């Protein structure tokens, strides 16, 4: 089988760590990288295969949802006090990834 050369660029620290790991594994750097990449590809393929049915089900549901009419936003219920409404809105904001100031945590303002 003919071999193909692939060139990669990485930082000095990364290169040294790879060399050390390859040495500890008793492999040269090329064999170590091929082994690591092959293992990662097999893991990714297995995960994709395991979730293929779920992914297909989600895709079908999304296509079906695209054809549905949009629902109007529900009116606030009269049974809640003003404080309860604020508490619910705050909780929903957190669920949707916003903090009390309306910003998404971990994102710049």
pTM reported for the whole predicted model: 0.52
71-109: pLDDT as tens digits: 777 776 668 888 988 898 888 877 777 665 656 555 554
> Residue 21: exposed, middle, or buried by beta-carbon count in 10 A (0-12, 13-18, 19+)?
middle
- Angle between the N-to-C axes of helices 29-50 and 52-66, in degrees from 0 to 180, rounded to the nearest 10: 50
35-62: pLDDT as tens digits: 999 999 999 999 999 999 999 999 999 9
User: What's the half-sphere exposure (Cβ side, CA atoms, 13 Å) at 84?
Assistant: 6
């Amino acid at each position: 089988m003919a071999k193909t050369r692939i060139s990669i660029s990485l930082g000095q620290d990364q290169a040294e760590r790879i060399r050390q790991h390859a040495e500890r594994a008793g492999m040269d750097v090329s064999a170590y990288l091929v082994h690591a990449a092959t293992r990662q590809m097999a893991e990714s393929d297995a995960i994709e295969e395991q979730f293929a049915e779920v992914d297909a089900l989600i895709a079908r549901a999304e296509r079906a949802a695209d054809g549905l009419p949009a629902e109007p936003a529900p009116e606030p219920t009269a049974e809640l006090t003003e404080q309860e409404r604020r508490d619910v809105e705050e909780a929903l904001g957190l669920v949707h990834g916003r903090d009390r100031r309306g910003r998404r945590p971990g994102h710049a303002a």
